[in-house]
Structure 1
Amino acid sequence: MLRQDMIGEATRLTRAGRLVEATALLQRMLRGGGAPGPNSRNAQPTLEEPTIIDGQANVIEENNGPDVTPAQAHMLGELLDRATQRGGFALRGVTARKPPSPADVVPDGTRFIEGSYSNPAGSRAYKLFIPSRHKDQPLPLIVMLHGCTQSPDDFAAGTRMNFIAEQKSCFVVYPAQRSEANRAKCWNWFRAADQQRGRGEPSIIAGITRQVMRDFPVDKDRVYV
């Protein structure tokens, strides 16, 4: 039984550098076990973050996190790949969701247009939100990466980001994962081929971002993912 809450917790542990715990959690899920309870020795509270439209971004030159062996990273990638590629999980999530209504996605007087981008790593479609007060002045750009089984429209409806962007006058671009790249439409961040600058899906996402910056008046100092 594949559970999105456990995959989400494994994602959080991975981002925190706790690959051994993430691997153990995915192994337990694939064996049919449940997530650890709130009183588990390793349980930590999940903190909700506020909505942020603008902020200061800093480049981190060092990685002071725990050392992870190649074997651990490979095992985690294998487990996540198995979890997201199982047909039952992918098809249930994709076919059961009703398409959101336009009123839940696009505020009145705004545009939500389609585009596509290709490079040697592949091609992806995307949706771009254009606020009504868009003229020729440079505006911030937010790049939104949807979750497993989602589409740009699903993500826009669930987050209400287009409505916030209309209030704040921002562009928002939503790259769309292809089911051919991942049957559950997850972004393949856990694969080594998709973890490097200028390669794989990172190069496609960056290329979509640059294409929007070229075609629309984007403030190059205010681009966020």
Structure 2
Amino acid sequence: MLNQDMVREATRLTRAGQLVEATALLQRMLQGGSAPAPTSRSGTQAPLARLEPPTIDAKADVVEQRESRPTPPSAVQGRKRNSSLDGMRKFSGLGVQGPIGRAPPSTSDIAPEGTQFIAGTFSNAAGSRTYKLFIPSRPQGKQLPLIVMLHGCTQSPDDFAAGTRMNFMAEERNCFVVYPEQPSGANQSKCWNWFRTGDQRRGGGEPSMIAGITRQVMRDHAIDPKRVYVAGLSAGGAAAAIMGATYPDLYAAVGVHSGLACGAASDLPSAFAAMRQGG
């Protein structure tokens, strides 16, 4: 079961900007550890200025610097008062589509030739989520492992698949991989809402939809129920920790990455290769 004290402390650490500490605490929870007493350098806890959780993942895009040109006075006078905020609302770092954004990954970076990467949808009383499913080229009619990959903030299944190269490892080792997608309508930055009480319990909220996607893939394909794993990066890592705690009967192992170190996403396939060899 979830240790609510540890979840609350992880939420506090995240909002205070201590992301590494928050991820380590969630990993300790999965291992059955206890929460440490909250500490503060000044002896008093800093007030939480934001009601919404911060974006855990961020990616800076290099853009070409262009020489600015003076704007005619008539154009300035014709603008509405709040027009200066339009560019900020459209900035890709806020998780909304805008003119400055990441180029979509190429097909060759997402999955190897001869395999399938198909879209699906799952719905239940909590809502609906789309997902992408990787199907290896040689299922051979036997039950295979399934890895559930939970992306980080501002990402999509295609981004996560290309960044981790998980589909290439899955083809090599003959595994299915499913990538549930968090839409911007559920969280402006596409973060999984692991910090909300309603999304921390079995049978409700986002955990029920992620578990439902997992079971739907298991029903539609030849999946070994003893080799179903869940992993996540950053906010997706926190959600993966919750899935492991609330559905221990469904997932054999959990992989959590803070995503703060360079190359962290690329470490996920090697971790699951070890799990598969051991399973």
Q: TM-score range by the shorter chain?
A: 0.5 to 0.7
**Cα displacement string for residues 9-51 of structure 1 (whole angstroms, at most 9, x for unaligned residues):** xxxxx8795555444337xxxxxxxx9xxxxxxx98x99xxxx
In structure 2, the partner of 1:121 is 126
RMSD in angstroms over aligned alpha carbons?
A: 3.3
TM-score (norm 2): 0.56
| C-alpha spacing 1:60/1:19, structure 2 compared with 1 (3 Å) | closer
Gaps of 5+ in 1: 1-13, 27-34, 36-42, 48-58, 69-74
**Which position in structure 2 is the counterpart of 1:169?**
174
How many residues get paired? 177
Partner in structure 1 of residue 195 of structure 2: 190
Q: Which of residues 59, 64, 76 is equivalent to 2:34? A: 64
Structure 2 contact 129–182 (Cα < 8 Å) conserved: yes
Matched, 1:211 2:239: no
TM-score by length of 1: 0.68
SS of 1:125 mapped into structure 2: strand
Aligned to 1:140: 145
Which letter maps to 2:163? G
Residue 64 of structure 1 aligns with an amino acid whose one-letter code is S
**Other-structure match for 2:16:** 24
Distance, in Å, in 2 between the alignment partners of 1:208 and 1:121 is 13
% identical aligned pairs: 56
Equivalent residues in 2 for 1:150-165 (5 A)?
150-165=155-170
User: Which of 77, 87, 90 is equivalent to 2:94?
Assistant: 90
Instruction: Write the distance in 1 (CA, Å) between the matches of 2:143 and 2:205.
Output: 29
**Conservation of the 8 A alpha-carbon contact between 1:131 and 1:171:** yes
Amino acid at match of 1:83: P
Equivalent residues in 2 for 1:72-87, closer than 5 Å: 79=50, 81-84=52-55, 87=89
Match of 1:107 in 2: 112
Give me the whole-angstrom Cα distance separating, in 1, the residues matched to 2:141 and 2:180. Answer: 24
Equivalent position amino acid for 2:213 in 1: I
Partner residue of 2:186 out of 177, 181, 187 = 181
Relative to structure 1, the CA distance from residue 21 to residue 215 in structure 2 (aligned partners, 3 Å threshold; closer, same or farther) is closer
Residue aligned with 2:155, SS: coil
| Structure 1 residue 178, shift from structure 2 partner | 1.1
Partner of 1:200: 205
Instruction: Check the 8 A contact 2:7/2:195 in 1, yes or no.
Output: no
CA distance in 1, matches of 2:122, 2:10: 34
- Which residue identity is paired with 2:144? L
CA contact (8 A) 2:96 2:184 kept: no
User: After superposition, what is the alpha-carbon deviation per residue over 1:153-172, rounded to whole angstroms, capped at 9, x for unaligned?
Assistant: 00000000000000010000
Q: What do the CA deviations read for 1:181-202 (whole angstroms, capped 9, x no partner)?
A: 0111111101111111111000
